[in-house]
Amino acid sequence: MQHLYRAFLFCVGVLLVSAGCAQTKSEKQIPYEVLRVELEQILDSDQAVREGFSEVKEEDRNAFFQKMQKVDSVNQAKVLTILKQYGWLPQSKVGQKAAEGIFFVIQHSPLKVIETYLPQMKKLAQEGEASKTLAAMMEDRLLMFQGKKQIYGTQANTMVTKDGTMAIWPIENPEKVNERRKTIGFSETVEEYARLLKAAYNPKEELPANPHRFQ
């Protein structure tokens, strides 16, 4: 009986060593440092092309958006290649800036792309390997794109109001939104956030008549 116990321990030991070796080998195959540098550069370009938007004249906005879409298209191709090969990368492996690079590129992507990759980000956020607040922002954006009410009040646009001014997208159970925001890690209330965005906020706001134009 004792020899069977020793054999069992040996087999378990072999399995643990094998698993450890496989994990080490697998992690070595992911060039985290190379990816970190690339993703940080991608984030820089994503943010740079959006600088100064509020100062752009109305007649120049089409050209501004065309330039932004061109940069976004290039960045999306790069990030999607990374995600298809490695999945959503843990923040502890690539750093906060690179992790934000992934987030912003996917956040600025079409509905189907967000639908595909949000579950990966949410899983990592639960494990402490992605930002919970950024994951909440992406979840709100997906709901907005789907023509539904958002949860955390992070999204605003010009479709809600009749005069085309910026306003917070309608929120599900708005009386509880600040509790939800605090729980997930936001430091400001939705009212404070709206003021930062210079956006109107009406907790009784309903969905616009045609909420599916995002698709």
pLDDT > 50? residue 3: no
pLDDT tens digits along 15-50:
444 444 444 445 558 999 999 999 999 999 999 999
pTM for this prediction: 0.83
Rounded Cα distance between 205 and 105, Å, is: 29
pLDDT of 27: 55
The angle at the Cα of 139, spanning 67 to 215, to the nearest 5 degrees, equals 50
How confident is residue 210, by pLDDT bands cut at 50, 70 and 90? confident
Rounded Cα distance between 73 and 65, Å, is: 12
Q: Region 69-83: what's the mean pLDDT? A: 97
Classified as helix, coil or strand, 128 is coil
How confident is residue 214, by pLDDT bands cut at 50, 70 and 90? low
Q: For the chain, how many residues are written?
A: 215
pLDDT tens digits along 79-97:
999 999 999 999 999 999 9
